[in-house]
């Protein structure tokens, strides 16, 4: 019992700062976007204009650019060949909107160029979707089986089920880890394209970089929280195994 109580205390001790980091990152990206969404870019290009121009300039003609509801809900859907820009990005000619739109085109270029981390992340999506639904139920079922079956028959089935659940949950952590280079790379591509096309001035590029950097911090925070939850679950299962031994 001591190990479980101690691990829970340690878990909270680590999780709370990471949750605070996540809240700060979310507030930072919103405040940074709001600040530079009020700054018009010198070329007077909207998010939509930017996305279309960068696609055509890079020889991409089979991707549509659409408007979706919400704020900062921008995303690239490779399955439907769509770049979806939020209402706050699509028709705005601000520095922030252009930066976000170019970031999504960065993802399009990753797919076109065969960027390895992007391919790995895409390949993980189906497994992560399944694992995120099954991981916790399997861990709980494994614990119940371990309590009843081990006591009655000495069976290790419960522990096997728990480790399967841990393995499935680890996919989510791996997905978040792979997401980091994907997002940072998309931002680098975005800034390079905006500079080469002259859509933003050097001063505006510095402002765009602040928007993209703030957005990247949300992925860092999410990865850290996912890692802490994974380590907590793994520790509980390992302590259960140690108790049996």
- How many other CB atoms sit within 10 Å of the CB of residue 220? 18
Query: What is the model's pLDDT at position 5?
Result: 53
- pLDDT confidence band for 24 (50 / 70 / 90): confident
Q: What is the torsional sign of CA 201, 85, 63, 210?
A: positive
pLDDT in tens, 206-238: 999 999 999 998 899 888 888 888 887 787 777
Question: Of 104, 183, 203, 204, which is the active-site residue?
Answer: 104
Query: What is the model's pLDDT at position 2?
Result: 43
Query: What is the model's pLDDT at position 67?
Result: 97
Query: What is the model's pLDDT at position 1?
Result: 43
Token pair belonging to 90: 């699509």
- pLDDT confidence band for 199 (50 / 70 / 90): very high
What number is the average pLDDT over the span 23-51?
Answer: 93
Residues 6+ apart with CB under 8 A from 192: none
What number is the average pLDDT over the span 32-61?
Answer: 96
pLDDT in tens, 140-183: 888 888 777 665 565 677 788 888 999 998 999 999 999 999 99
Query: What is the model's pLDDT at position 234?
Result: 82
What number is the average pLDDT over the span 96-108?
Answer: 97
Name the domain count of the chain. Answer: 1
**Is the confidence at residue 3, as pLDDT, over 50?**
no
Contact 39, 94 (CB under 8 A): yes
- pLDDT confidence band for 244 (50 / 70 / 90): low
Contact 99, 110 (CB under 8 A): no
- pTM, two decimal places: 0.84
φ/ψ of 194, rounded to 5, equals: -65, -35
| Helix pair angle (116-153, 95-113), 10° resolution | 80
- 104 flagged as catalytic: yes
The whole domain housing 51 covers 2-244
Measured distance CA(89)–CA(199) in Å, rounded: 15
**Residue written as token pair 């505006």:** 204
- How many other CB atoms sit within 10 Å of the CB of residue 13? 9
Measured distance CA(65)–CA(54) in Å, rounded: 11
What number is the average pLDDT over the span 109-128?
Answer: 95
What number is the average pLDDT over the span 54-66?
Answer: 96
Query: What is the model's pLDDT at position 193?
Result: 97
Cα 221 → chain centroid: 9
């Amino acid at each position: 019992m001591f190990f479980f109580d101690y691990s829970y205390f340690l878990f909270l001790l680590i999780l709370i700062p990471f949750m605070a980091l996540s809240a700060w990152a979310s507030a930072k990206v919103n405040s940074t976007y709001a600040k530079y969404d009020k700054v018009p870019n010198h070329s007077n290009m909207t998010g939509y204009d930017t996305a279309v121009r960068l696609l055509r300039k890079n020889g991409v003609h089979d991707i549509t650019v659409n408007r979706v509801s919400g704020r900062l809900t921008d995303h690239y859907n490779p399955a439907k060949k769509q770049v979806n820009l939020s209402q706050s990005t699509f028709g705005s000619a601000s520095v922030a909107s252009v930066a976000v739109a170019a970031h999504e085109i960065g993802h399009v270029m990753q797919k076109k160029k065969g960027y390895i981390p992007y391919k790995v992340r895409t390949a993980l999506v189906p497994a992560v979707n399944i694992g995120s639904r099954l991981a916790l139920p399997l861990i709980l079922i494994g614990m119940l089986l371990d309590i009843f079956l081990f006591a009655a028959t000495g069976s290790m089935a419960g522990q096997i089920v728990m480790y399967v659940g841990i393995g499935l949950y680890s996919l989510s952590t791996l997905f978040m880890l792979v997401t980091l280079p994907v997002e940072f790379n998309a931002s680098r591509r975005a800034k390079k394209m905006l500079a080469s096309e002259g859509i933003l001035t050097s001063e505006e590029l510095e402002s765009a970089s602040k928007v993209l950097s703030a957005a990247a911090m949300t992925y860092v925070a999410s990865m850290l929280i996912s890692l802490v939850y994974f380590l907590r679950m793994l520790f509980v299962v390992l302590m259960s195994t140690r108790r049996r031994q």
